[in-house]
């Protein structure tokens, strides 16, 4: 029976787009059918083996070879029953995407026969020859060994004919070559640190998890139009294009009725997600035309990130079936909103205590304020590092470009939490007056906090939203591991400091409750400057932020210096998340990727200018010249001047734009060539940032002006008004 159902669902996956209506069945019937979850394990693994796997997932116990052998055998049978013929170690290289190299189960034996083989060794560890991935110097070419190792805490899954096994990717010497390994280490660090702080509140043995609920924004473009835009194909953003007369001014797209073709795509996508246990909850139109959002229910952060990456992969496939291309770029179109991937982050215990949720008792609320204060302190102390973790060539178009959110990391708390902290700070002396259990009179008010009642501030990059923080600066194309690893790590370190400080107070004779109150009060006082509830876009805030000592850097290559600063290296080694070499490698790779992205854009734009736009502009100019000459012939010199006034000025205008655009394109390429000569990746990235990136913008102004002049029928590329409105 089980098998029949799996096959039936798989058949539905193969349907053509026209028929691709999700089956009229309850989601729960097929949810997770392509995941090696507990249900599948019950069928394919012995109870003893299952027990060992659960221990490994829950307690991080390493599986021995014998158990791994059993798991591999069961997993292979399960995957083959779903039609899988191949397997892959699925990992997250520092390029930002995901990597897979498919190997067949087929193993020849004897004379001309074969059998399906998949051993425990193949499950646990592989050595893909992945020497072409950027490693930031972690792997010299002569010792280019990199290993992928199974992460049992994220379940394996089948997509199409391939069994995908989530893995970490590490070097011969144990350094992380991927995003998952540091994330797992940071999760461990923050869990331990939070568990230690919880013991101060009398909570012991309740494991802490970091949770993540991402909100993925994206654009859809019709495949046929996309195919005519070399910039979209090669850079995933339009490097030129005049604003459409109507774009998002009317705010009629946001939360609007979802267009039929798009809705079919979304349904199909959700169907695929549910089969892979990705708990999609929300779909809606976003602010910009053709912009949408998809969001799941939050999960443990490692799983949530794997799910986000799987989603991004299957979104492209499903979009293809529906004649769409998905754009994950943070700013595919100038003049309309860009896309982010808000990361809703929190810590919670396995028994269900939300550490960023107010509770019912005074002690619960002291715990809540403690975790809030520590989060804010961690963010305040490391605001520049946190920004560096999300700043990229593509996300730089959002951050600091007068668009949500600004490039200064501050936190919005809402009126109630702010007031609670203010009372806590002031009530130092009031404690005695109130006479209540010896601590702040401000605290008992907090139970009145209604979770739904958090006011919103859309401009804040790190906003408290009732039971979690919403980190909004993360870019839509990012692997959110980068940001979450930094968040977990800075939080772990801060919680460790907090615990030490409270222990010290107690050792000096202070009462534990009083020590908690005093230390939390001091923590919040020390980081109040990170709290900002005003307009994050205003010029005044930029000035004010400088006074408060918050980082205002907007250039990605300069921000990356934060990865290798003395304080970052010390922080990451204290928490055992990354060593100095790993951090240096990340900075190196980020500089490299930054330069490459800008260089690619510069080459595309120069090509578009020279080969697509200028020839057409000149051709149109010739048409006008021809017309003017004929007018002159017919009407004579005196009369034609007045009649052809408009044409003549247009001819001049075209000439100016053409000559400016041409010289700018040449200059931009020259600067790109010069940047490539730089001695270090950092120097190169700085030149691309300072000399090449701004030229992309100034050059496009001439092209966009030409777009408004040249005959529409001659214009060689689809325009914004076509790209942005799906019919
Ligand atoms: P918004 O109103 O900000 O657009 P959405 O409903 O789109 O919010 O997404 C909010 C995300 O936050 C969801 O993924 C949700 O599951 C997640 N979330 C809710 N509570 C928590 C929590 N305690 N920790 C982490 N994420 C959470
Ligand atoms: Mg949302």
Find all residues with CB under 8 Å of 463, minimum gap 6, and list them: 411, 412, 456, 457, 469, 470, 472
- Of residues 27 and 137, more confidently modeled: 27
Q: Which pair of structure tokens corresponds to residue 320?
A: 């293809």
For residue 290, report the distance from its CA to the centre of ligand 2, in Å.
16
CB 222 within 8 A of CB 328: no
Cβ of 285 below 6 Å from ligand 1: no
Say if residue 432's pLDDT is above 60.
Answer: no
pLDDT (0 to 100) of residue 449: 39
φ/ψ (deg, to 5) at 442: -70, -25
Q: Provide the 8-state DSSP code for 164.
A: E
φ/ψ (deg, to 5) at 470: -105, 110
The DSSP code sequence of 255-310 is T-PPPHHHHHHHHHHHHHHHHTT--EEEEEE-SSTTEEEEEE--EEHHHHHHHHHH
Highest mean pLDDT among 119-128, 427-436, 506-515: 506-515
- Kindly report the protein residue whose alpha carbon is nearest to atom 19 of ligand 1: 298
- Of residues 590 and 58, more confidently modeled: 590
**Confidence band for 575, pLDDT divided at 50, 70 and 90:** very high
CA-closest candidate to residue 708, choices 244, 246, 250: 244
Cβ of 468 below 6 Å from ligand 1: yes
Class of domain 31-178: alpha beta
| Structure confidence by residue, pLDDT tens digits, 665-685 | 999 999 999 999 999 999 999
**Confidence band for 143, pLDDT divided at 50, 70 and 90:** low
Angle between helices 47-59 and 65-81 (to 10 degrees): 110
CB 423 within 8 A of CB 369: no
CB 216 within 8 A of CB 344: no
For residue 279, report the distance from its CA to the centre of ligand 1, in Å.
12
Say if residue 1's pLDDT is above 50.
Answer: no
**Confidence band for 428, pLDDT divided at 50, 70 and 90:** low
φ/ψ (deg, to 5) at 149: -130, 135
- Kindly report the protein residue whose alpha carbon is nearest to atom 1 of ligand 1: 215
Domain segments of the chain as ranges? 31-178, 187-578, 592-723
Q: Provide the 8-state DSSP code for 528.
A: G
- Alpha carbons within 13 angstroms on the beta-carbon side of residue 689 total 25
Q: Which pair of structure tokens corresponds to residue 466?
A: 């009732």
Angle between helices 481-507 and 566-574 (to 10 degrees): 70
**Confidence band for 173, pLDDT divided at 50, 70 and 90:** confident
The DSSP code sequence of 645-709 is HHHHHHHHHHHHHHHHHHHHHHHHHHHHHHHHT-SSHHHHHHHIIIIIHHHHHHHHHHHHHHHHH
Is the peptide bond prior to 468 cis by the omega test (within 30 degrees of 0)? no
Q: What is the largest CA-CA distance in the chain?
A: 105
Buried b (16+ CB within 10 A) or exposed e, 181-194: bbbbbbbbbbbbbb
Alpha carbon distance 2, 4 (integer Å): 5
Counting from 1 in the atom list of ligand 1, the atom nearest the Cα of 346 is: 24
| Structure confidence by residue, pLDDT tens digits, 507-555 | 999 999 999 999 999 999 999 999 998 888 888 888 999 999 999 999 9
Cβ of 560 below 6 Å from ligand 1: no
Alpha carbon distance 333, 349 (integer Å): 42
Say if residue 49's pLDDT is above 90.
Answer: yes
Q: Which neighbouring-strand residues pair with 163?
A: 87, 158
Alpha carbon distance 369, 348 (integer Å): 14
For 169, the 3-state DSSP assignment is strand
In this structure, CATH architecture of domain 187-578:
2-Layer Sandwich (3.30)
> Residue holding tokens 């939360």?
255
For residue 162, report the distance from its CA to the centre of ligand 2, in Å.
32
Counting from 1 in the atom list of ligand 1, the atom nearest the Cα of 354 is: 23
**Domain 592-723 carries which CATH code?**
1.20.120.1560
**Confidence band for 136, pLDDT divided at 50, 70 and 90:** confident
For residue 343, report the distance from its CA to the centre of ligand 2, in Å.
10
The DSSP code sequence of 404-428 is SSPSS--EE--HHHHHHHHHHHHTT
- Of residues 363 and 594, more confidently modeled: 594
For residue 44, report the distance from its CA to the centre of ligand 1, in Å.
35
pLDDT (0 to 100) of residue 25: 78
Find all residues with CB under 8 Å of 529, minimum gap 6, and list them: 380, 548, 549, 550
Q: Which pair of structure tokens corresponds to residue 688?
A: 């691309």
φ/ψ (deg, to 5) at 539: -65, -35
Query: Which of 365-369, 613-617, 649-653 comes out lowest in average pLDDT?
Result: 365-369
Ligand number nearest CA of 343 is 1
**Confidence band for 450, pLDDT divided at 50, 70 and 90:** very low
Counting from 1 in the atom list of ligand 1, the atom nearest the Cα of 296 is: 14
Alpha carbon distance 79, 64 (integer Å): 22
Counting from 1 in the atom list of ligand 1, the atom nearest the Cα of 297 is: 16
pLDDT (0 to 100) of residue 609: 98
When pLDDT is averaged across residues 386-395 and rounded to a whole number, the result is 97
For residue 484, report the distance from its CA to the centre of ligand 1, in Å.
15
| Structure confidence by residue, pLDDT tens digits, 263-302 | 999 999 999 999 999 999 999 998 899 999 999 999 999 9
- Kindly report the protein residue whose alpha carbon is nearest to atom 4 of ligand 1: 215
- Of residues 285 and 347, more confidently modeled: 347
């Amino acid at each position: 029976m089980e098998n029949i159902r799996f096959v039936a669902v798989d058949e539905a996956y193969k349907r053509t787009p026209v028929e691709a209506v999700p089956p009229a069945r309850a989601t729960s019937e097929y949810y997770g059918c392509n995941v090696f979850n507990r249900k599948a394990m019950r069928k394919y693994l012995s109870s003893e083996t299952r027990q060992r796997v659960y221990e490994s997932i829950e307690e991080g116990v390493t599986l021995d070879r014998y158990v791994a052998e059993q798991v591999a055998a069961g997993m292979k049978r399960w995957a083959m029953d779903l039609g899988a013929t191949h397997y892959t170690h699925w990992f997250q290289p520092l390029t930002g995407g995901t990597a897979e190299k498919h190997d067949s189960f087929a193993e020849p034996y004897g004379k001309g026969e074969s059998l399906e083989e998949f051993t425990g060794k193949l499950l646990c560890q592989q050595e893909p020859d992945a020497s072409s991935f950027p490693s930031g110097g972690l792997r010299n070419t002569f010792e280019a060994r990199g290993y992928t190792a199974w992460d049992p805490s994220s379940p394996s899954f089948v997509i199409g004919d391939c069994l995908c096994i989530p893995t970490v990717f590490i070097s011969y010497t144990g350094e992380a070559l991927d995003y998952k390994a540091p994330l797992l280490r940071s999760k461990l660090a923050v869990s331990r640190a939070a568990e230690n702080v919880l013991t101060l509140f009398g909570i012991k043995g309740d494991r802490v998890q970091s949770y993540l609920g991402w909100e993925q924004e994206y654009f859809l473009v019709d495949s046929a139009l996309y195919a005519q835009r070399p910039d979209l194909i090669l850079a995933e953003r339009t490097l030129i294009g005049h604003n459409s007369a109507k774009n998002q001014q009317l705010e009629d797209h946001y939360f609007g009725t979802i267009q039929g073709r798009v809705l079919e795509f979304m349904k199909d996508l959700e169907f695929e997600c549910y089969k892979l246990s990705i708990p999609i909850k929300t779909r809606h139109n976003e602010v910009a035309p053709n912009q949408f959002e998809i969001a799941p229910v939050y999960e443990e952060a490692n799983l949530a990130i794997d799910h986000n990456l799987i989603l991004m992969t299957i979104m492209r496939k499903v979009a293809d079936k529906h004649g769409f291309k998905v754009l994950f770029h943070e700013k595919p179109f100038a003049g309309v909103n860009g896309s982010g991937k808000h990361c809703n982050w929190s810590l919670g215990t396995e028994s269900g205590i939300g550490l960023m949720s107010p509770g019912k008792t005074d002690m619960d609320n002291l715990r809540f304020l403690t975790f809030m204060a520590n989060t804010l302190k961690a963010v305040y102390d490391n605001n520049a590092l946190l920004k560096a973790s999300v700043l990229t060539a593509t996300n730089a178009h959002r951050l600091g470009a007068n668009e949500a959110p600004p490039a200064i990391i501050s936190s919005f708390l809402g009126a109630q939490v702010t007031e609670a902290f203010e009372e806590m700070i002031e009530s130092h002396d009031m404690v005695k007056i109130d006479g209540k259990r010896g601590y702040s009179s401000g605290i008992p008010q907090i139970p009145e906090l209604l979770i739904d009642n958090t006011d919103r501030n859309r401009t804040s990059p790190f906003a408290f939203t009732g039971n979690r923080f919403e980190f909004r600066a993360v870019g839509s194309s990012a692997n959110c591991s980068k940001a979450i690893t930094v968040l977990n790590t800075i939080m772990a370190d801060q919680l460790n400091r907090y615990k030490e400080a409270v222990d010290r107070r107690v050792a000096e004779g202070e009462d534990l409750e009083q020590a908690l109150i005093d230390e939390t009060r001091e923590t919040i006082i020390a980081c109040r400057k990170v709290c900002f509830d005003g307009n994050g876009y205003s010029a005044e805030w930029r000035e004010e932020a400088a006074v408060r000592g918050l980082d205002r850097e907007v250039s990605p290559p300069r921000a990356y210096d934060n990865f290798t600063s003395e304080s970052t290296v010390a922080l990451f080694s204290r928490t055992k998340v990354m060593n100095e070499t790993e951090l240096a490698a990340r900075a190196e790779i980020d500089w490299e990727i930054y330069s490459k992205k800008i260089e690619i854009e510069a080459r595309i734009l120069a090509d578009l200018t020279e080969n697509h736009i200028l020839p057409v502009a000149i051709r149109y100019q010739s048409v006008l010249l021809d017309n003017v000459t004929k007018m002159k012939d017919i009407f004579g010199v005196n009369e034609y001047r007045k009649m052809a006034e408009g044409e003549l000025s247009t001819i001049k205008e075209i000439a100016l734009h053409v000559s400016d655009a041409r010289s700018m394109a040449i200059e931009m390429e020259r600067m790109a060539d010069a940047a490539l000569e730089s001695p270090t990746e950092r120097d190169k990235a700085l030149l691309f940032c300072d000399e090449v990136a701004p030229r992309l913008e100034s050059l496009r102004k001439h092209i966009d002006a030409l777009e408004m002049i040249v005959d529409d029928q001659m214009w060689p590329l689809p325009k914004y008004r076509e790209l942005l409105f799906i019919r």
